[in-house]
Amino acid sequence: MRTAKQSRRDAKSLLRSCQVNGLLDEARARQAVQQVIDRKPRGYLRLLAYFKRLVQLEIARRTARVESAMDLSPEWQTRLTGNLTHTYGPGLRITFTRNAALIGGLRIAVGSDVFDGSVQGRLAVLANRF
């Protein structure tokens, strides 16, 4: 009987084997999942579930979500991409979305780092002060 701890340990080493220069290689990850499914080692479902969670966290860590009140021009997008790549290194996946609820300004989230320059964010800070 494999314990949850062993499955977690295996999932972590599986994730490490899917990384190249500290970045997740998607092809390797797919291949690893396929191999686990083919071989069906003991406790493989739990291993895959934990592996999925680790991959999810890894993707979130390397994804920048840029939200703005209105669509950003291509120049702005290029500028932001350059700045974020400079700060967080290469391999960053950047998504641009429009969120009218921000009222104005930008909100950028990379993993658990959040840069909130939106009007909504400032109003929230102000509301908290009361």
Interface residue list for another protein (CB under 8 A): 53-54, 57, 61, 109, 111-117, 128
Q: Which is nearest to 19 in space by CA: 9, 5, 32?
A: 32
User: How many angstroms separate the CA atoms of 70 and 106, rounded?
Assistant: 9
Question: Considering the complex, what minimum distance in angstroms separates the CB of residue 126 from another protein?
Answer: 13
Task: Report the DSSP beta bridge partners of residue 100.
Answer: none
Tokens of 83: 């700045």
**At closest approach, how far in Å is the CB of 94 from another protein?**
17
| Cβ nearer to another protein, comparing 28 with 65 | 65
C-beta of 34 vs 82, nearer to another protein: 82
Give the nearer residue to another protein in terms of CB position, either 13 or 34. Answer: 13
Distance CA 22, CA 20 (A): 5
